[in-house]
A and B are shown apart, each in its own frame.
Chain A
Amino acid sequence: GQQVMQIPQYQHVQEGEDFTTYCNSSTTLSNIQWYKQRPGGHPVFLIQLVKSGEVKKQKRLTFQFGEAKKNSSLHITATQTTDVGTYFCAGGSNDMRFGAGTRLTVKP
């Protein structure tokens, strides 16, 4: 069945370093959404990308949707301790399936 693959599984950075997580699908996605889950919490919606090649920014976060609508990335510039959590991409053609997530830890 349809799968959304996400890498890396874990990322540990020093505060101030950049961070990127990648999401890939074997099929074309109607759209892709990104969520953040803090430890012990629930996933919280960050952003949705719909158009081929779309780029959106939220402060230090940059989201991209690939030209073929099969991949996406989330880049955080100059990480802060408040960025700690697991970042998930989610997408599908008929439903909303989540990638495995990238767990980000930040060392002060």
Chain B
Amino acid sequence: DAGVIQSPRHEVTEMGQEVTLRCKPISGHDYLFWYRQTMMRGLELLIYFNNNVPIDDSGMPEDRFSAKMPNASFSTLKIQPSEPRDSAVYFCASSFALWTPLHFGNGTRLTVT
């Protein structure tokens, strides 16, 4: 299995631009999580899906952030417009069920200038 695949690995953009992060979970995993990691705030849970349905998006910082999962093999996290404080590493993770181990992708390092 290829594991969780995220793209791009690195993204550098200017403030105000739209950013789209992509994730392909492990086949057969019913849960997909988006996390954001910064030195100041650690690993924050942004949103998670079960069978493509968003279950809890209380961690999404504000309306500039949105996430979708149109099918079982693809999810996106979009930031529009982006701001410098959004700079972080964004991880996608998937799991077979809610309490089974999370498998993380390699992350997307976002820099907003």
Contact = CB atoms under 8 A, between A and B. Distances in A.
Interface in B39-59: 42-43, 45, 48, 55-56, 58
5 contacts: A45-B102, A95-B45, A95-B98, A96-B102, A98-B35
Which of under 10, 10 to 19, 20 to 34, or 35 or more describes the interface residues of A? 20 to 34
Interface residues of B, number: 21
- The SS class assigned to the B binding surface is strand
Contact of B45 (A42, A45, A97): A97
Interface of A, secondary structure class, is: loop
A74 B23 CA distance: 31
Interface of A: 1, 30-31, 33, 35, 41-45, 48, 50, 88, 90, 94-101
A88 B48 CA distance: 19
A48 B101 contact: yes
Contacts of B48: 95-96
A42 B43 contact: no
Contact of A96 (B58, B98, B103): B98
A100 B42 contact: yes
A33 B43 contact: no
B56 A94 contact: yes
Contacts of A48: 99-101
Contact of B102 (A31, A33, A50, A100): A33
Interface in B71-113: 91, 93, 98-107
Contact of B43 (A1, A41, A88): A88
A69 to B, nearest CB: 13
A88 B43 CA distance: 9
Nearest to A97: B45
